[in-house]
Every structure is written in C-alpha cells, then in structure tokens.
Chain A
Amino acid sequence: MGWFERTYNRIKKKGKKTIDIPHGLWTKCTNCSQLIYNKNLEENLRVCPKCNYHFYLGVRERIEITLDKNSFNEYNFKINSDDPLNFPGYKEKLSKNEKKTGLDEGALIGEGKIGKIPITVGVTDFRFMGGSMGSVVGEKITLVIEKAMEKRHPLLLISGSGGGARMQEGVISLMQMAKTSAAVAELKKEGLLYISLLTHPTMGGVMASFASRGDIILAEPGALLGFAGPRVIKQTIKQQIPKGFQQAESLLKHGGVDLVVERSKIRSTLIRILDFTLS
C-alpha cells in the first residue's frame, strides 16, 4: 500500500494490455503486442506467427484441430451443475459463464478418431470458470474414462484448468480429484493408453489428479503448469519467482512432462504415439 491514495484514475498504468477483439479483424498478441490479422491467426491455429505465443483454444476448436475431420461424437449425459452448498453467487456465476462461452460446463467429452485410430477424448475449457473441476467436470472426466474402458479405446484428456478444484462446491470438488484418479487407476489396470495433453493453464486440483498422470504427457509451449499458483508461492516465500518458472519448458527440464509440442505438431505427435501402441 502506498502512502497516498490515488483519488483520480486519470493516470493510466503503462505496460502490457490485452486487447482481445474476437469479432474484429485484428488481434493483438498478448505476449509480443504484434497485430495479427484474425484470418491468419485462425489459419495458424491461434498461435502468434511472430513470437509463437499459444492463444487459448475453446473446446470445440481444440477438438476440430486435434481429431480427424467430422469424426467427433459428443457423449451427451445431460448433467448440469447444482449448487449443493448454496454458495454465495455461484448460480449467477454459472449462468454468466454459460452465456459467455456457449457451453453448459467446463468440460466436453466424446469419442472420435485421430489418424483413423478410434479414441475417447475429454477436454476442459479454461474459459468456463477457469476450467475448474466441480461435480460436473469430475463426473464427465470419470465417465469418459469409463467409456474408454468399456470400448477399450485409448484415452486423451486435454486440460486447460487454471482453477483446479472448484471452490464453490467445497470438499465435493476436492473429492472429484479422488474420483477421477481412481478411474485413471482402473484404466491403467486395464492396460489402456492414457495420453494427457496440458494446455495453458493447468493448475491445482486438476494438475494434482488426472492431468499429471498420463502414461505420456504432452504440453503446449509456454503453458503454465503446476500445483500452487505463482501468486500464492510468491506470498509464501516472499521472493520473486524465477523467469519461466512453472512453464511447460521448465517442467520438461525437471522431468515433469514427456514433450513440449507446438500446436501445429500435436496431431502428428499423437498419431505417432497411438501408432506405437497399436498391435
């Protein structure tokens, strides 16, 4: 806290400012501030052509660029979030996020093909309440794992969950970590392949359950990955955090992921892995 309160807000802070104009013609890169023609950005899979910054990708777009064209079938279990704790503001937050994202929750599950190989897929979407895991996300992830076992297909889980376990559902959310992990353990016992793809950001309870336990773990460049958030760590240790800390490249160096893969190479890398495990 400074000695003087700033009463007027006429002085604008300098520094990076994100300009995200989804329906405009141009997007300014979050990282290097380069103006990118939207059509070029889409063609480049929402990766900055200048600095290689990987923008968020919604679940539908993610599935589109990862799976074989038109091969995806969503599992429609029709489950929606409740408000079991009657948590202040939760219902409003849910409906706001539904409107904002056009999604009914923070995860999408289904099956499809990658390089003609059948696969079950689950994706969490950071834009929906930070991709946090409450009852519905936990249930959907568990259901898709069980589907993989039923069909004896490999499983791909793509995480973008900065929120970790969703606080508005309290310990019920925390227990989704145990639930999904138990399902992952069953899947492994069945000898089925589980590939985890980590995208920006994957933290907390999602990272500390299914996301960090793939047989093979891929990560997108620059993705923030870890257990505790950088702000919490900074508060605890009262020190600056080193540059690049908790980024995918740092995890690669410390042995936390198998590969850091650029978005344009993810599909081909998945095909190589899937091919290896095919009999």
Chain B
Amino acid sequence: MAENRYSLDFEKPIMELERKIEELKGLTAEEGLDLSEEVSRLQSRLRKLEKDILSHLTPWQKVQLARHPNRPKSLDLTELIFDDFLILHGDRLYSDDQAIVGGLAKLGEEKLVFIGHQKGKSIKENLFRNFGMAHPEGYRKAQRLMNLAEKFNRPVLTFVDTPGAYPGIEAEERGQAEAIAANLERMSQLRVPILVIIIGEGGSGGALGIGVGDKILMLENTIYSVISPEGCAAILWKNQEKVKEAAKALRLTSKDLLNLKLIDEIIPEPVGGAHRNVEQTALNIKKAIIKHLGELKRLSPEELVKKRYEKYRRIGRFKRG
C-alpha cells in the first residue's frame, strides 16, 4: 500500500486510520515504546471500518472502486495466478494492440489460453495501454488466440477490464464494430470451455468482445454496463450531476447482475477491496478458475456449444400476449 497512496473519497477515513497505525508502529520501533495494545486496538477498528464502509457503498461508489487506479490489472493477477505465462503478440493484420494481452498459460497441470484487457496504473502506463480501450486489432488478436485454444483443445480464460472499445477515427476505419461482432460469433461457436471474469470495469461492447462464455464471473466490487453512467447521464438527463442516478438505474453492480441472472457467480474480494490485498484477490480468482474449468472440462465440445447457445438464447425479458 505504501507505494501508492491514491484513495477515493470514501476511503479517506481508512487511509487516515492506517496512517495512525503506521505512526504508532514507527514510534514502537524508534522510541522503544510498547504500543502493541494500542496498535492492535486500532487495527481491529480499521477492519471494522473497512467492512462498514465497503458494505454500504452506493452504485456510483462501486463504479469508482471498479475503476480504482490501484486495483490489480490483468497482468498483476496473471503474475500471481499462473505458474507459467507466455505472452503472444499481434493480430497478423495490422499491429499489436497493447490494450489486450494474451498468451499461453499454465495453472498447475492445467494448460489454457489467457486473454485480458490491460489497463495501466500510471498515466505513462495508461497511455501505453490506451487506458484498456482496444482497437479492432485487439479483438482480432484475441480471436487468433481463441482459434489457437480450439486447435489445441485448451480452455480459454478471459479477464474483462475496459471502459469500452476505443472510440477513434482509425478504430472506426479499421472496423471496430465488425471486429467485436466477429468475436461474438466466434466465441459462441468455440469448441473449448470459455470462462470470463470481470476484474474491474465491464464497459459495454468493448467488454463483450472478449466476454462471451460458458460461465461469467464478477469480482465483488466490479461493474458491467451497457453504457457508462457518464454517457447515460449525458444522453438521458443532459446533466453530468445525474451520474449517480444513472449508476443506480443501470443495475451494473455484481449483485444486480447476479439477481438478474446475467452472471453465474460473484468472487469475493478481501475487506477493503481487491487493491487492499492483491494476493488474496488472486487466490480467490484462482480457486474460482480451478473450480469452473474443472466442471466445464467434463462437457464434450458439442455439449459446450449447445449449452452456451441456450445460455444466451434465454436472455431477454418481455411480456407475451
């Protein structure tokens, strides 16, 4: 935590208390005073405070938490989860998109193909990663890796974390819409298991472009939305102050989406959020991967494709009559 002090407004009391604890610890070390009792008292208060704050977040605060700069990004997690990971590059058509990373991974005995959006943590990193917003070549690289997975009969694991597909002139000219649509078709037919995990921000079509699968999981404090709350507020109310209402109306939290039966499971985060204990977060994700891939592997390619089709075929709410 020490290296990056960025905190959201509602995290400020937590940071404050944490600083106090560190101060006391410092005093213990420097002055030889025994403040352990005070420290442990404050530490239990800290845990309670974190729990309290995190359990009462509004949807808009969840959006902020999902976008937290310190949140672990794809490569932070793959580093902790996989035993081996060979990153592969390029779509063979135009370039290598830095907003989507992927390659061959090993998790214990399990060999799989990993694909994930990659955001940065600093401005410099984010410029390199284009803030996790992929161009068409990112989606086409992803499809190339999916094909590889199918060819060698390995499951696909994707991490979703993007504000959306990049809205730019060149992205449009190279067929952003087609690149995403092609992936939706391909993923619906892929003859190997696909496990999708939302690890931060699930931004609309840009998220879905690597987000069609047999099981869709979300980390506890993540969001998945058809449009950003900012975009929704601008269109519906022409007013950025309505962003909180938009966040609520869109039903974009993991709990909302589980209730709507649009995702299969929520992966718990450590107290305070994924960024407060990245190792624990990675461990929780790892457990979920092992469990779900284990289950999906039992299905034949035909069963997988059929079940996946039925899963999406069912989605929709309307009145008959």
Pick out which of these stretches binds chain A: B8-16, B37-45, B174-182.
B174-182
A120 contacts the other chain (Cβ, under 8 Å)? no
Looking at the complex, which one of B168, B182, B212, B312 makes contact with A213 (CB distance below 8 Å)? B182
On whether the beta carbons of A185 and B168 are closer than 8 Å, the reply is no
A87 contacts the other chain (Cβ, under 8 Å)? yes
On whether the beta carbons of B250 and A85 are closer than 8 Å, the reply is yes
Task: Give min CB distance, A45 to chain B, whole Å.
Answer: 27
Looking at the complex, which one of B178, B188, B250 makes contact with A256 (CB distance below 8 Å)? B178
Q: In the complex where A172-B316, A177-B184 touch, is A227 in contact with B176 (Cβ < 8 A)?
A: yes
Residues of B close to A158: CB separation below 8 A: none
Residues of B close to A209: CB separation below 8 A: 180-181, 184
**Of B173, B181, B232, B245, which is in contact with the most chain A CB atoms at under 10 Å from its CB?**
B181
Residues of B close to A179: CB separation below 8 A: 312-313, 315-316
On whether the beta carbons of B251 and A226 are closer than 8 Å, the reply is no
Give a binary string over B151-186; 1 marks a CB under 8 Å from any A CB, 0 the rest.
000000000000001111101111111101110111
B309 contacts the other chain (Cβ, under 8 Å)? yes
A70 contacts the other chain (Cβ, under 8 Å)? no
Q: Please, how many angstroms separate the alpha-carbon atoms of A278 and B205 in the complex? A: 36
A233 contacts the other chain (Cβ, under 8 Å)? yes
Pick out which of these stretches binds chain B: A59-67, A132-140, A263-271.
A132-140
Residues of B close to A175: CB separation below 8 A: 208, 262, 312, 315-316
Residues of B close to A181: CB separation below 8 A: 181, 184-185, 188, 212
Main secondary structure on chain B at its contact with chain A?
Answer: helix
Q: Please, how many angstroms separate the alpha-carbon atoms of A135 and B312 in the complex? A: 12
Looking at the complex, which one of A138, A211, A213 makes contact with B185 (CB distance below 8 Å)? A213
B204 contacts the other chain (Cβ, under 8 Å)? yes
Q: In the complex where A135-B318, A178-B184, A182-B309 touch, is A88 in contact with B168 (Cβ < 8 A)?
A: no
A148 contacts the other chain (Cβ, under 8 Å)? no
- Which residues between 40 and 94 of chain A lie within 8 Å of chain B, taking CB atoms? 78-82, 84-85, 87-89
Task: Give min CB distance, B111 to chain A, whole Å.
Answer: 26
A167 contacts the other chain (Cβ, under 8 Å)? yes
Residue of B nearest to A213 (CB): B181
On whether the beta carbons of A167 and B232 are closer than 8 Å, the reply is yes
Residues of B close to A242: CB separation below 8 A: 169
**Of A89, A171, A186, A246, which is in contact with the most chain B CB atoms at under 10 Å from its CB?**
A171
Task: Give min CB distance, B173 to chain A, whole Å.
Answer: 5
On whether the beta carbons of B321 and A80 are closer than 8 Å, the reply is yes
**Of A166, A167, A169, A178, which is in contact with the most chain B CB atoms at under 10 Å from its CB?**
A178
A112 contacts the other chain (Cβ, under 8 Å)? no
On whether the beta carbons of B172 and A171 are closer than 8 Å, the reply is no
Residues of B close to A173: CB separation below 8 A: 226
B189 contacts the other chain (Cβ, under 8 Å)? yes
Residues of A close to B227: CB separation below 8 A: 165, 167
On whether the beta carbons of B168 and A165 are closer than 8 Å, the reply is no
Give a binary string over B63-100; 1 marks a CB under 8 Å from any A CB, 0 the rest.
00000000000000000000000000000000000000
A199 contacts the other chain (Cβ, under 8 Å)? no
Residues of B close to A138: CB separation below 8 A: 316
B114 contacts the other chain (Cβ, under 8 Å)? no
Give a binary string over A211-249; 1 marks a CB under 8 Å from any B CB, 0 the rest.
111000000000000111100110011000110011000
Task: Give min CB distance, A118 to chain B, whole Å.
Answer: 25
On whether the beta carbons of B172 and A227 are closer than 8 Å, the reply is yes
B5 contacts the other chain (Cβ, under 8 Å)? no
Q: In the complex where A177-B184, A227-B180, A232-B167 touch, is A85 in contact with B251 (Cβ < 8 A)?
A: yes
Q: Please, how many angstroms separate the alpha-carbon atoms of A177 and B207 in the complex? A: 12
A174 contacts the other chain (Cβ, under 8 Å)? yes
B221 contacts the other chain (Cβ, under 8 Å)? no
Residues of B close to A85: CB separation below 8 A: 249-251, 260
Q: In the complex where A212-B177, A254-B173 touch, is A172 in contact with B205 (Cβ < 8 A)?
A: no
Give a binary string over A194-208; 1 marks a CB under 8 Å from any B CB, 0 the rest.
000000000011011
On whether the beta carbons of B175 and A254 are closer than 8 Å, the reply is yes
On whether the beta carbons of A246 and B316 are closer than 8 Å, the reply is no
- Which residues between 213 and 240 of chain B lie within 8 Å of chain A, taking CB atoms? 224-227, 231-232, 235-236
Q: Please, how many angstroms separate the alpha-carbon atoms of A153 and B171 in the complex? A: 35
B124 contacts the other chain (Cβ, under 8 Å)? no
B257 contacts the other chain (Cβ, under 8 Å)? yes
Give a binary string over A150-192; 1 marks a CB under 8 Å from any B CB, 0 the rest.
0000000000000011110111111111110111111011000
On whether the beta carbons of A78 and B321 are closer than 8 Å, the reply is yes
B293 contacts the other chain (Cβ, under 8 Å)? no
On whether the beta carbons of B167 and A245 are closer than 8 Å, the reply is no
A128 contacts the other chain (Cβ, under 8 Å)? no
Which 4 pairs, one residue from A and one from B, show the smallest C-beta to C-beta distance?
A228-B167, A181-B184, A182-B188, A135-B316
List chain A positions with a Cβ less than 8 A from chain B.
78-82, 84-85, 87-89, 135-136, 138-139, 142, 164-167, 169-179, 181-186, 188-189, 204-205, 207-213, 226-229, 232-233, 236-237, 241-242, 245-246, 250, 254-256
Contact sample, A vs B, 21 pairs, CB 8 Å cutoff = A78-B320, A80-B319, A80-B321, A84-B260, A135-B317, A136-B318, A142-B313, A165-B226, A177-B205, A178-B212, A179-B312, A179-B316, A181-B185, A205-B204, A210-B181, A212-B175, A236-B168, A245-B169, A245-B172, A255-B175, A256-B178
